[in-house]
Homo-oligomer: A and B are copies of this chain.
Amino acid sequence: MNKPLKARYLIETSFELEKAAAILAGEQSSGTFVKIPGETDELRERSGAEILSIEPLGTVNSPSLPGARQIPDTPIQQAVVEVCWPLANMGTNLPNLCATVAGNLFELSPFSGIKLMDLEIPSAFADRYPGPSFGIEGTRSLTGVYDRPIIGTIIKPSVGLTPEQTADRVKTLIEAGLDFIKDDELQGDSPHSPFKERVELVMQVINQHADRTGIKPMFAFNLSGDLDDMLRRHDYLLENGGTCIMVNLNWVGISAAVRVADHSQLPIHGHRNGWGIFDRSPILGIGFSAYQKIWRVAGIDHIHTNGIRNKFCESDESVISSIKSCLEPLWGGYPIMPVLSSGQWAGQAKDTYDQIGSVDLMYLCGGGIVAHPSGIAAGVRSIQQAWDAAMNGIPLTDYAGKHQELKEALDFYG
C-alpha cells in the first residue's frame, strides 16, 4: 500500500552499526528487544521496518549522552541511518507517525545519541491532511504585500500591557507601515489582557485603518489554550475582521492544532517556542527539517525559523537550512511561510536573500524597527529598502547612498 515512511537519524553507538540500526528498526516496528512468539517471518516481512542505508561519520572520544550500554574496548561511532516503514503500520495518522519515528527510540540502550534529522512522509497523508490553507499566497493576498517580505514586529513588553495599551501600540505600528504584528507567545488570554477585549480593541484600530487606507495589516492573535476556547476565539476573531491566529505549536500539540486547522478560516501562525528542547542538542531530539514537515502536514501556514545573526544560540547555517526546508515544496505544495526574527534589522537582508534566493518570508524586527533613529516609519522603510537592495543584487552600503532610512539604519545598528 502506497510509498513507505522514511526517516533519517543521526546515531551514536559503540555497537556494530548494523546491529544498532536493527535494534532501532525492530523496536519501532514488529519487534522488541528479543524475538518473541508470534513475530513470524511473514509478520516481520509485512510489518518490519527496513534499514535503507548506514553511513559512518567517524568516532567520538566519549559518549555524548549518559546511560548507553558501551561495548568494552570498542570505539564510539556516529553514523547516519535511513529507516523505512510500511505505511500500513500506522495508517495516515499523524500522532502515530510521530510515535513510529520519534517514540521510545531516544532511550534505546545502544545509543549515546540519537536524533531524527529528516522525514519523508508518504503522500497518502495528503488524503487526510489537506495542509496549510493559506500558506504564502493566502497570506500575501490577505496582507496585500507582494514581491517582498512581509515586514512585521511583536508587541512588547511580552506581557503586562492592557488591551488599550496594546491597541495604542498597534495604531502606532500600522501607521508606521508595518504589514504584520503579533502577540508575544506569552500573551494568551490572561486577566490583564483578556483575549476578547484585546481582539475587540486591536481590530477596531486595524479595521479603521483598513477603511481609511485600503491596507489591512495582519495581526496574529495568540489563541493557544484549551481546544474549545481556541475554536471560540477563532470565531470571535473572524467576526471582528481578524486575519490571523497564532498557536504555540509544542504546547497546544498536534491533534488540537489539526482540529484548529480543520476549523480555521484564517491562516495559522505557528510559534515554535520550546523548540530548543527538540533541536538544540546536536545529538538528541528532532531536527527542524523533520519538525516543520510534521507541522505543515498538520496545516500550519507560518512557522518560526529565527533569522541570521540572531540573539539566540542558533547558528546562521542552521537558520538558513531551516528557511530553505520551509521553502522546499512538500508533495508539490503545502507551502509554509518561514518567519524570521530575533535581532533582525536591515543589515541581514542581503545576506539572507543571497543564501535563500526568495522573498517569501516574514521578516520580524523589534528594536531593528522601533529603535530607528528617525522613528518607526523610517525603521520600516529601512527594511523595505534593504530588501530592495538585496533583490537587485546591490550592496546595502551602495543602496544607502540614495536611501536615507537605510543609511541611518546602517549607521545606527551597523
* A→B interface (CB under 8 Å): 1, 27-34, 36-39, 43-44, 46-48, 65-68, 88-91, 93-96, 98-100, 102-109, 111, 114, 128, 156-161, 165, 169, 185-186, 188-192, 224-230, 248, 250-259, 271, 273-278, 280-282, 284-286, 306, 311-315, 343, 366-367, 370
Contact = CB atoms under 8 A, between A and B. Distances in A.
Contacts of A32: 156-158, 366
A295 to B, nearest CB: 12
B38 A169 contact: yes
Given A47-B159, A227-B259, A276-B284, 9 more contacts: A29-B159, A32-B156, A32-B157, A33-B367, A36-B157, A38-B161, A39-B160, A65-B280, A226-B258
17 contacts: A38-B157, A38-B161, A43-B161, A47-B157, A47-B160, A67-B315, A93-B188, A93-B189, A94-B226, A96-B225, A98-B274, A99-B271, A109-B313, A128-B226, A227-B255, A227-B256, A256-B259
A37 B186 CA distance: 18
A88 B190 contact: yes
A9 to B, nearest CB: 13
A114 B345 CA distance: 28
A118 to B, nearest CB: 16
Contact of A273 (B103, B128, B160, B278): B103
A247 B204 CA distance: 42
Contacts of A254: 251-253, 256
Contacts of A39: 156-157, 160
Given A252-B254, A259-B226, A367 B186 contact: no
Contacts of A34: 367
B103 A165 contact: no
Contacts of A96: 186, 188-190, 224-225, 248, 251
A65 to B, nearest CB: 6
Most buried by B among A32, A109, A160, A280: A160
B107 A312 contact: yes
Nearest to A155: B38
Most buried by B among A47, A66, A165, A226: A226
A355 to B, nearest CB: 19
Contacts of A105: 276
Nearest to A32: B156
B106 A47 contact: no
A191 B127 CA distance: 15
A326 B226 CA distance: 24
B282 A284 contact: no
B67 A251 contact: no
Contact of A91 (B188, B271, B273): B188
Contacts of A277: 102, 106, 277-278, 284-286
- Sort A-B residue pairs by CB-CB distance and give the 3 closest, nearest first: A253-B253, A106-B276, A67-B313
A95 B251 contact: yes
Nearest to A249: B253
A319 B193 CA distance: 41
A27 B314 CA distance: 16
Contact of A93 (B157, B161, B225, B276): B225
A207 B265 CA distance: 45
Contacts of A280: 65, 67, 106-107, 284
B185 A103 contact: yes
Contact of A159 (B89, B257, B258, B275): B89
Contacts of A252: 95, 253-255
